[in-house]
Amino acid sequence: MRLEFCWFCSSKIYPGHGIQFVRNDAKIFRFCRSKCHKNFKMKRNPRKVKWTKAYRRLHGKDMTKDSTFELERKRNRPERYDRNVMENTLKAIKKIDKIRHDRAADHIAQRWKPKAAKERREARKELEQSISLIKAPLAIQSQEPAITVPKIKVKAPKQQTVEDQLMEE
Amino acid sequence: MAQYDFKKITVVPTGNDLIDIVLSRTQRQTPTVIHKGNAISRVRQFYMRKVKFTETNFTDKLSKTIEDFPRVEDIHPFYGDLLHVLYNKDHYKLALGQLNTARNLIKRIREDYVKLLKYGDSLYRCKSLKRAALGRMCTVTKRIGPSLAYLEHVRQHMARLPSINTGAPTILICGCPNVGKSSFLNKITRADVEVQPYAFTTKSLFVGHTDYKYLRYQVIDTPGLLDRPLEDRNIIEMCSVTALVNLHAAILFFLDLSGSCGYSISQQAALFHSIKMMFRNNPVLIVCNKTDLQTLEGLSGEDLKLVMEMKSAALDVLLTMSTITDEGVMAVKNAACQRLLDQRSERKMKSKKMPTVLNRFHVAMPKPRDQKERPVCIPQAVLEARAEEAAHEERKTEKDIENENGGAGVYSASLRKHYILADDDWKLDILPEFLDGHNVYDFIDPDILQRVEELEREESAVEEDGGDFEIEDEDFTAEAEKDLQEIRKRKKLLIQKHRIKKSTAESRPTVPRKFDKDRKFTTERMGRQLSSLGIDPSRAIERARSRSVSRKGRKRERSVGGDGEDEMEIDGGLDNKKKLRLRSRSIEGFKDSAQKMKAVTMARNATKKRNKDARRGEADRVIPTLRPKHLFSGKRSIGKTDRR
């Protein structure tokens, strides 16, 4: 028993699901459900179909390179059974899974970060430009300018510690 | 000695058929189109080709026939004589000769006409020459028609001749008609020859095969012979005579002791003596048949004497048998075969080749050196091992265990028992294959924990960093936020208004401001809007009012005077006009908006009751006819009527 990956959407295929197609050149295509199978028959390229993992990885939406992936390799040579190794492996799998999950979440959060800044910039601009809709320019001039405060970039103290460390070393 | 196969001779066509075949071939296989306008050389070539082609075909076919038929001189004398007997050698040779002549004639015709064609000067002349050539060839062929027919006959008959291998050991059966030759053949071989009570049932030679001492013998059955001089013999008898004379075989002369064949023993003896000289060196056996009817002992003295005479002539070989009771049949066969075998071996030994062959053989027999016994030698270790194995108990096999536990379908052998592991307790562990959607086997690694620890360290290091991030002050104060919201709301309202305006643009008239019936454009409104923007509107209102039309009108009133009546009059007069002009379009038909409002309220109240009663009003949809005929009946001109 082995969990395979769907050729089209890269999702896991559990036993008893999906279809396998063997081509004349002996290449095996596994599909998790008929949706993927039908898309394949239509000769669609998964790298162009938005909802597949292949697309997401190609366009940088999901994490591609990570050390956690190296721990999971398909081994062709069977190893002799060792209970301790098996125990450790089972524990390790859980940890690795968590780490991978967290890292993937980080990746996505990182992707979303610049959006907030952009939104703020646009709001500021809008405020400047369209203030005339609610306040007449005369009124504004008479008022004190206290709308916007210039942004301050504050670097975290981490850098200094790194420098310190380097100095120490 | 070869076995002749007369079945492979090609069919000989009749004269007319041959002509048809050759001419149609010419027609099909040579080009057919030629014109007067073509160059003369081309015309000549065209016709020459036809003549040559026809000649070649004739020659080929005739040559084939001539070569296929055997030459009487070249074949074994037995067959030569047989052919002569059956078909008359001379006639046969003549026919073949005629074919040969025809062939030569055709060749000569072709040579002549090709020479003539070389100098043909017109298409017509060449064509005539070709016609003449072909015509002559056909005439020649027609003339040999009878020969062809005869040869075809001969071919058909020859194909049915028995295939006798002249070199193989043969047994020849001869004797008077009806003595039992064919029945004997049937007995010893698988041949199925007709056996009937009348004479000359067998009209030609028949061959059967039998085995003796791993050798195959041919047995030839001949038609019966009568005691006649050679010249008087008919074709059938001549067949058997041919066989007797030409074949080297063991001859079985059959005697019928009982005389039921229709010939007495004396007649049979006479026959024997007359054909004696034909036997030459062949081994002869006298076989007395039909002993069930008459035994040898029961013969009369004279007959016995005749028989004995025959026996002495045949080198004292006399056998008795009865084909009906099968008594002695096998003995006869064995005796005949044996005699033949002996003779053949003798002959071989006497032949010139034998010493050369014998010289090559030498069988060496080792002489014993001494009388010591030398048995088989087996090393001691092997003997011990064998003894041990025999004494060794049978161990319990997996198969036995399986059978104990219920057989093949019920019990499946546990392969885990024989696993080689570091610790034997682990043999019966249940191994998980999946965990949380991962294949466990993909992760197995002896130092997996180490690497996981490294990973965790990495992670924690990254966390401590917190990462490089920019702190930006919330640049929006609460006021600014509020303003932003206001702006956005205002924008939305504008968009909505614009959309309504756009959608109703077609039905709404574009009216200039002076016909403002809804009284939108008032100074109060302006004042409100300006104050919402944060500007003091009073000055703007003043200015607007100072320039309005109504203001100007009021000025005039004041100048005239403050008389109430006058005022009233003027007011009334002017007021009416004004009122006419100022009356908004929406108050059409009514005195003022108050009146209109009242009217609207009254209308609403009137319909309230009706609505409460839920009665059908004027505005409610009415279907005058619920089932109009044209929808519920009739066939459609195209389409189905399963929906109405």
Per-residue model confidence as pLDDT tens digits over B436-466 = 999 999 998 888 888 888 888 888 888 887 6
Burial B192-214 (b: 16+ CB within 10 A, else e): ebebeeeeebbebbbbbebebee
Chain B environment of A145 (Cβ under 8 Å):
none
CA distance B275 to B244: 9
What are the sequence ranges of the domains in chain A? 1-60, 63-136
Q: Read off the pTM.
A: 0.45
> Closest residue of A to B490, CA-based?
A133
CA distance A109 to B357: 106
How close A83 comes to chain B (CA, Å)?
7
pLDDT of residue B569: 47
How close B387 comes to chain A (CA, Å)?
41
A139:B533 CB<8 A: yes
Best CA proximity match to B63, nearest among B89, B19, B101: B101
Indicate the residue type of B293: L
**Alpha helix locations (H) across A3-82?**
34-41, 53-58, 67-71
pLDDT tens, position by position, B280-292:
778 888 888 888 8
Chain B environment of A118 (Cβ under 8 Å):
none
Best CA proximity match to B483, nearest among A44, A140, A76: A140
pLDDT of residue B29: 93
**Does the pLDDT at position B217 exceed 80?**
yes
The string of DSSP codes covering B380-433 is HHHHHHHHHHHHSPPPPPHHHHHHHTT-TTT----GGGG---SSGGGGGPPPP-
Q: How far are the Cα atoms of B65, B66, B76, B158, B449 from residue B70, in angstroms, in the given order?
A: 10, 8, 10, 10, 100
The mean per-residue pLDDT over the stretch A113-125 comes to: 90
CA distance B74 to B96: 15
B443:A96 CB<8 A: yes
| Average model confidence (pLDDT) across chain A | 86
pLDDT tens, position by position, B576-623:
555 555 556 667 788 888 898 999 999 989 888 777 887 777 788 888
Look-up: residue for tokens 């130092």?
Answer: B447
B491:A130 CB<8 A: yes
CA distance B135 to B106: 11
A82:B422 CB<8 A: yes
CA distance B207 to B197: 21
CA distance B6 to B84: 15
Chain B environment of A115 (Cβ under 8 Å):
none
pLDDT grade for A151, boundaries at 50, 70 and 90: low
> Closest residue of B to A123, CA-based?
B484
A85:B448 CB<8 A: yes
pLDDT of residue B130: 94
Best CA proximity match to B99, nearest among B54, B51, B152: B152
CA distance B443 to A75: 9
Mutate to test the interface with B, among A69, A96, A128, A158 (most CBs of B within 10 A): A96
Count helices and strands in chain A by DSSP H and E runs: 6, 4
pLDDT of residue B368: 81
CA distance A119 to B424: 66
The mean per-residue pLDDT over the stretch A143-168 comes to: 58
CA distance A32 to B288: 96
Who contacts B93 (Cβ-Cβ below 8 Å, separation ≥6)? B72
Look-up: residue for tokens 């000067």?
Answer: B121
pLDDT tens, position by position, A65-116:
888 888 888 888 888 898 999 999 999 999 999 999 999 999 999 998 898 8
CA distance B480 to A148: 8
Who contacts A113 (Cβ-Cβ below 8 Å, separation ≥6)? none
pLDDT tens, position by position, B160-192:
888 888 888 889 888 888 888 888 888 888 888
pLDDT tens, position by position, A130-143:
888 888 777 666 66
Residue A135: how many other CB atoms lie within 10 Å: 17
Nearest to A75 among B436, B441, B535 (CB): B441
Residue A12: how many other CB atoms lie within 10 Å: 14
| DSSP structure class, residue A5 | E
B475:A149 CB<8 A: yes
How close A37 comes to chain B (CA, Å)?
22
Chain B environment of A117 (Cβ under 8 Å):
472
Q: Which residue has the higher pLDDT, A20 or B295?
A: A20
| Candidate ranges A35-44, B296-305, B526-535, B630-639; pick with highest mean pLDDT | A35-44
How close A40 comes to chain B (CA, Å)?
24
pLDDT grade for B349, boundaries at 50, 70 and 90: confident
Look-up: residue for tokens 């690694």?
Answer: B445
pLDDT of residue B212: 87
A85:B458 CB<8 A: no
Nearest to B421 among A75, A80, A133 (CB): A80
**Does the pLDDT at position B382 exceed 60?**
yes
The mean per-residue pLDDT over the stretch B340-348 comes to: 85
pLDDT of residue A71: 86
**Does the pLDDT at position A147 exceed 60?**
no
The string of DSSP codes covering B618-640 is SSS---S-SS-HHHHSS--SSS-
Burial B382-418 (b: 16+ CB within 10 A, else e): eeeeeeeeeeeeeeeeeeeeeeeeeeeeeeeeeeeee
Nearest to A85 among B444, B472, B533 (CB): B444
pLDDT of residue A42: 96
A72:B445 CB<8 A: no
Q: How far are the Cα atoms of A23, A27, B19, B31, B55 from residue A20, in angstroms, in the given order?
A: 10, 10, 72, 64, 73
The mean per-residue pLDDT over the stretch B119-124 comes to: 91
> Closest residue of B to A136, CA-based?
B533
Nearest to B443 among A93, A102, A146 (CB): A93
How close A142 comes to chain B (CA, Å)?
10
| Average model confidence (pLDDT) across chain B | 84
Do residues A44 and A38 touch, judged by C-beta distance below 8 A?
no
pLDDT of residue B564: 45
The string of DSSP codes covering B433-446 is -EETTEEGGGT--T
pLDDT grade for B18, boundaries at 50, 70 and 90: very high
B445:A89 CB<8 A: yes
| DSSP structure class, residue B36 | T
> Closest residue of A to B448, CA-based?
A89
B433:A1 CB<8 A: yes
Q: Beta partners for B217?
A: B210
B473:A152 CB<8 A: yes
Chain A environment of B487 (Cβ under 8 Å):
126-127, 130-131, 133-134
For strand B318-320 and strand B438-439, is the pairing parallel, antiparallel, or unpaired? unpaired
pLDDT of residue B576: 55
**Does the pLDDT at position A160 exceed 80?**
no
**Does the pLDDT at position B143 exceed 90?**
yes
Q: What's the token pair of residue B136?
A: 């002559």
What is the interface size between A and B, counted as CB pairs within 8 Å?
159
For strand B284-289 and strand B318-320, is the pairing parallel, antiparallel, or unpaired? parallel
**Does the pLDDT at position B468 exceed 90?**
no
How close B483 comes to chain A (CA, Å)?
8
CA distance B418 to B428: 11
Nearest to A134 among B439, B440, B487 (CB): B487
Q: Which residue has the higher pLDDT, B474 or B535?
A: B535
B480:A148 CB<8 A: yes
The predicted complex's ipTM stands at: 0.74
> Closest residue of B to A89, CA-based?
B444
Q: Which residue has the higher pLDDT, A164 or B191?
A: B191
Best CA proximity match to B262, nearest among B305, B343, B199: B199
pLDDT grade for B474, boundaries at 50, 70 and 90: low
Biggest CA–CA distance in chain B, Å, is: 204
B432:A155 CB<8 A: no
B533:A134 CB<8 A: yes
pLDDT of residue A163: 52
Residue B114: how many other CB atoms lie within 10 Å: 18
Who contacts B465 (Cβ-Cβ below 8 Å, separation ≥6)? A158
pLDDT of residue B127: 94
pLDDT of residue B565: 46
Instruction: Report the length, in residues, of chain B.
Output: 644
Q: Beta partners for B285?
A: B252
User: Which class for B35: exposed (0-12), middle (13-18), buried (19 or more C-beta within 10 A)?
Assistant: exposed
User: Which class for B223: exposed (0-12), middle (13-18), buried (19 or more C-beta within 10 A)?
Assistant: buried
Mutate to test the interface with A, among B426, B431, B445, B485 (most CBs of A within 10 A): B445
**Does the pLDDT at position B572 exceed 50?**
no
**CATH class, range A1-60:** mainly beta
Q: What are phi and psi of A12, to 5 degrees?
A: -75, 140
